[in-house]
Structure 1
Amino acid sequence: MTEGELRQAIAFGREQRGVEFKGPGKRTDRAFQAKVIRAILGMANKPGGGVVVIGVDDDGAALQPTGLSTDELSTWSSYDDLATSVSTYADPYVDFDIATVEMDGKSFVAIEVTQFKELPVICKRDYQATLGEGGAARSCGGVRATGKRDEKMVLRNGALYVRRRGKNETIEVPSHVEMREVLRHAAEFVARDMVASHVLLEGHVQGTERTDQVSEKRFDAEVEDLV
């Protein structure tokens, strides 16, 4: 993502299906990182992939390009560290690139996520974020009652996260519409692989036949010379 693309995305005024904003935060903050990973999984299952931008606050009414502090930015500098964290929750792996984007003297992190190649990306591990001490016991909206504190399930083992149509947000697949979209793209990848394999096999067979024909002609010629 370039500075111009970031500026344009912010000027749009809200999240788009292929662009999700996260406020400033550190990768070493496990709860914050889990939310970023959730967004990455959703983008990986979206046709064409998408971008997760860190450093832009979204209060639902307006976007605020806050940017990251030097300390926060330093925690996102290692691709390997983030890739290791993502692989802990993603199955299969997710392809992405991470870059720092400078705009108006502020720093942002852009994570560009590639759509899955063969199989949809499934979350393979739970992550629960503590909401606070002394919360009232309840169980709704992904919140688990503990008696002492409430924990929200940010990442759920076995969940398929997608970017919702209409209201742009990353959630577990909500309906047959999003599920059909994911399955259709998975089927397209399988079909392409089958066609490519058929073309390669056909070329190999034709090449083998040509080689056999040449060998047969050479054998016949050598036999004639001997006779």
Structure 2
Amino acid sequence: MYNKILELLDAGGETRNIEFKKTYDWNNPQHKAKIVKCILAMSNTKDGGYLVLGIDEEKYGEEKLTGMELEHFDILNYDHIIVEVNKFADPPISFHMYPVQEEGKHFVLLRIPEFDELPIVCKRSGEQGLKEGAVFSRSKIKPESAQIRSQSEMRELIDIAINKGIKEFYKRVRDSGLQVTNSDSSDEKYAKEIQMIKDIDVLNTIRETGYWRITIRPRYYLENRIDSLTNCRKAIMENQLSLRGWNFPHFRGIENGNNFIQASENWGEHKELLRLYKSGNFVYFKAMREDYIDKQHLRNVKGRGLAIMNTLFLFSEIFEFASRLSQTNILGDEITVSIKCFGIKDRELFFFEPMRTLFSDYVSTIEDSAECIVSVGIEELIADSEKIAIETLLQLFENFNWDASGSIGIFREEQQKLLSGTY
């Protein structure tokens, strides 16, 4: 879990979904209330979030890793925290706590999932502004836990609850055998929009190594399906995933083009470019981080590698993001998802995790690129996005001469950890 803490630090500081604190004394009523308030707020924030104790935000780089005071670390107990939290939470909250010790320093990582079915209401008053009947969330204005007071934040919370209901509805539609899809095709027009993405510095950098090109689009083409660039921005910002520290899709600032919005990132191993056209054509270029990470992680790979679990998580994020976009009704009744990877010839599959191993070398020996294309109705996507992600992943791994069907159980287990917030 120490690597997870480092990954969260690499995300660039506190966000709506990440909070760092130097230390907390559970015997201090003010500190205890701050923890409770943070957990209530994270539960009502899209994708939940992380609270990390042992990080000094006033320092820089690895100096932030100060660790908690030992006496505070020793008395911090999961059972005590969950009992205290659920004195205030209605309905009750579940979360995960991981004590971490590294190089004589002590940290605590809390992973708080998004609420299950109903938003969390504070049912009693207490310290630090805890108030009976209040609803807390992570503020959009600055990364803090605060009572929801604005209409936009309350609307966001209501939309999360509604979308959970929509997903359950579509599962029932699927199980009943009903069909509510429509179809059309305008491949050439969508391809022309992709071809327009060129002469961009970060894109040139991305293409220097292995990379991904991901597209999510409606089945049929309408030039102004999304009526404004403002609504394009809204679609991206409101459906962004925050499941593992580095958001999907990731952006710091968004710029407007003539008929599209665009954002880019070139930081460390993260090199990305996204564009969303008013037609609903979402295009995302992303460098393979395996080509930038420390070579110690590739010690078992003869050349270039592709991390299996990282790829599973990427595919799961792609289809979960597509599912969320579908629920906004901007993509029509059927969508097409394309995942294409470049620079895979002689690239070998591997596990980052030292406890996992492969019993053979699985390498892409012939092709230098591979594309997986899925056309699906939104009711099926919303109901089965997790299953579709794994099926598509298996299709990709065939290019590496690996029949991974025997690993579906492991993939599902790890995928659920990611999507449920326990990764």
Give the 3-state SS of the residue equivalent to 1:155 in structure 2: coil
Distance 1:61 1:38 in 2: 27
- For the residue of structure 2 that corresponds to 1:154, the secondary structure is coil
Aligned position for 2:131: 156
Residue correspondence of structure 1 range 76-95 to structure 2 within 5 A: 76=76, 78-95=77-94
Aligned AA for 1:43?
Answer: M
Residues in 2 aligned to 1:61 and 1:7: alpha-carbon distance in whole angstroms: 13
The question of 1:68 aligning with 2:68 is answered: yes
Query: How far apart, in 1, do the equivalents of 2:5 and 2:114 lie?
Result: 20
> In 2, Cα distance between the equivalents of 1:192 and 1:86?
28
When structure 1 is superposed on structure 2, of 44-53 and 194-203 the one drifting more is 194-203
TM-score, normalization: structure 1?
0.69
Of residues 116, 137, 161, the one that matches 1:186 is 161
Q: CA separation in 2, counterparts of 1:187 and 1:12?
A: 29
**Partner SS for 1:71:** helix
The total of aligned residue pairs comes to 177
Instruction: Describe the superposition over 1:160-186 as per-residue Cα deviations: whole angstroms up to 9, x where unpaired.
Output: 111111421111114222111110010
1:97–1:111 contact (8 Å) kept in structure 2: yes
Given the superposition, is the C-alpha separation of residues 46 and 60 from structure 1 closer, same or farther in structure 2, using an over 3 Å criterion?
farther
186-195 or 162-171, which deviates more = 186-195
Distance verdict in 2 for CA 1:61–1:187, change over 3 Å: same
- Cα contact 1:20–1:53 (8 A) shared by 2: yes
3-state DSSP of counterpart to 1:48: coil
SS at match of 2:3: helix
Tell me the residue number matched to 1:121.
Answer: 120
Match of 1:40 in 2: 39
Paired with 2:109 and 2:99, the residues of 1 have a C-alpha distance of 6
The RMSD of aligned alpha carbons is 2.5
TM-score by length of 2: 0.39
Distance 2:10 2:45 in 1: 23
Of structures 1 and 2, the one scoring higher in RCO (CA 8 A, sep 6+) is 1
Unaligned 5+ segments in structure 2 are 179-423
State the 1:37 CA deviation: 0.8
Structure of higher CA gyration radius = 1
Change (3 A) 1:177 1:103: farther
Of all paired residues, the percent bearing the same amino acid is 28
- Call closer, same or farther: CA 1:157–1:68 in 2, change over 3 Å: same
Matched, 1:8 2:46: no
| 1:29-62: CA deviation from partner (whole Å, max 9, x where unpaired) | 2210110111111110111111111122335999
Q: Deviations over 1:111-142 (max 9, x none)?
A: 100100111111111113xxxxxxxxxxxxxx
The answer for the alignment partner of 2:146 in structure 1 is 171
Identify if the C-alpha distance between structure 1 residues 166 and 81 changes in structure 2 by more than 3 Å, giving closer, same or farther.
same
What SS does the corresponding residue of 1:24 show, helix, strand or coil? Answer: coil
Alignment of 1:202-213 (within 5 A): none
Gaps of 5+ in 1: 129-152, 204-227
8 Å CA contact 1:55, 1:67 repeated in 2: yes
Alpha-carbon distance between aligned partners in 2 of 1:197 and 1:30, rounded to the nearest angstrom: 46
CA 59–126 in structure 1, closer or farther in 2 if over 3 Å, else same: farther
Offset at residue 6 of structure 1 (A):
1.3
Structure 1 residue identity aligned to 2:104: G
Letter aligned with residue 96 of structure 1: F
Q: Which moved more, 1:177-186 or 1:99-108?
A: 99-108
